[in-house]
């Protein structure tokens, strides 16, 4: 009995905390040291999702095999301010984030002189804002390239074109809308109100 596909979740906080969080939710034992960028390459672990309904179905129907829903949790290298411009592990980090379906935002909220903080002082709200802005800047870079490529294609089509060309024009309009929201208005794409077609074309 199989109940769901696997979804990939990634940890995306500052250095010093994310590997501890990863170990706690996955029962893993990856290195969690008190210095930035202890994690270089992503660590991955699968976690079964507790589900009383699944347990009931298995107990009721007695299947030959039981395959519950799983989350694939990935411990990604820590993010620092300026990552979108190459600081820290820069683009390597952000490309790993792009590969997951959801992100755990983990920031530090406790005072401890012996635990390093890359910004020099404790401020969880600032840290969250840095994470959000670095992710937005990476979206901005992606959308700028995507829009430029689509614009070239639209110029070649002109005013005519068949169904495929009309679809390309519609895609351009959608990406332009998302571009305006993320780049011109400086807003997080996740906070926008997008319909299904916009999600399919734009993301």
Q: Give the pLDDT of residue 1.
A: 35
Measured CA to CA, the distance from residue 86 to residue 66 in angstroms comes to 45
> Do both 108 and 191 map to the same domain?
no
Q: % helix / strand / coil in the chain, to the nearest 5?
A: 50, 10, 40
> Do both 133 and 156 map to the same domain?
yes
pTM reported for the whole predicted model: 0.71
Residue after which a domain boundary falls, among 93, 122, 151: 122
Q: Give the pLDDT of residue 29.
A: 76
The boundaries of the domain holding residue 28 are 1-122
Q: Give the pLDDT of residue 147.
A: 93
> Do both 92 and 140 map to the same domain?
no
Residue after which a domain boundary falls, among 122, 142, 175: 122
> Do both 39 and 116 map to the same domain?
yes
* Helices of type H across 38-179: 52-61, 90-98, 124-157, 163-179
**DSSP structure string for 60-88:** HH--S--B--EEEEEEPPPP-TTGGGT-T
Q: Give the pLDDT of residue 101.
A: 82
Q: Give the pLDDT of residue 90.
A: 54
- What's the CATH number where 144 sits? 1.10.150.300
> Do both 102 and 193 map to the same domain?
no
> Do both 139 and 92 map to the same domain?
no
> Do both 14 and 97 map to the same domain?
yes
Residue after which a domain boundary falls, among 99, 122, 145: 122
Average pLDDT per 10 consecutive residues for the chain, totaling 203 residues: 48 65 81 54 85 93 90 78 58 71 81 70 84 86 92 77 81 93 93 88 63
> Do both 20 and 54 map to the same domain?
yes
> Do both 2 and 100 map to the same domain?
yes
Domain count, the chain: 2
> Do both 29 and 118 map to the same domain?
yes
Long-range CB pairs of 149-155, under 8 A, 24+ apart, other chains included: 150/175
């Amino acid at each position: 009995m199989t109940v769901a596909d696997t979804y990939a979740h990634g940890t995306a906080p500052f250095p010093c905390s994310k590997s501890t969080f990863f170990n706690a939710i996955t029962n893993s034992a990856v290195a969690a040291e008190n210095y930035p960028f202890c994690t270089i390459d992503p660590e991955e672990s699968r976690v079964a999702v507790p589900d009383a309904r699944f347990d009931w179905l298995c107990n009721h129907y007695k299947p030959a095999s039981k395959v519950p829903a799983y989350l694939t949790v990935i411990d990604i290298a820590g993010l620092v301010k300026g990552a979108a411009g190459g600081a820290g592990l820069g683009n390597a980090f952000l490309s790993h984030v792009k590969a997951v379906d959801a992100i755990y935002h983990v920031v530090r909220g406790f005072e401890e002189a012996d635990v390093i903080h890359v910004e020099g002082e404790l401020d969880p709200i600032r840290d969250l804002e840095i994470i959000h802005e670095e992710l937005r800047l990476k979206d901005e870079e992606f959308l700028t390239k995507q829009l430029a490529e689509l614009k070239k294609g639209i110029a070649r089509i002109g005013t005519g074109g068949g169904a495929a060309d009309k679809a390309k024009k519609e895609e351009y309009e959608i990406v332009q809308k998302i571009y305006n929201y993320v780049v011109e208005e400086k807003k997080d794409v996740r906070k926008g109100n997008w319909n299904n077609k916009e999600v399919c074309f734009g993301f």
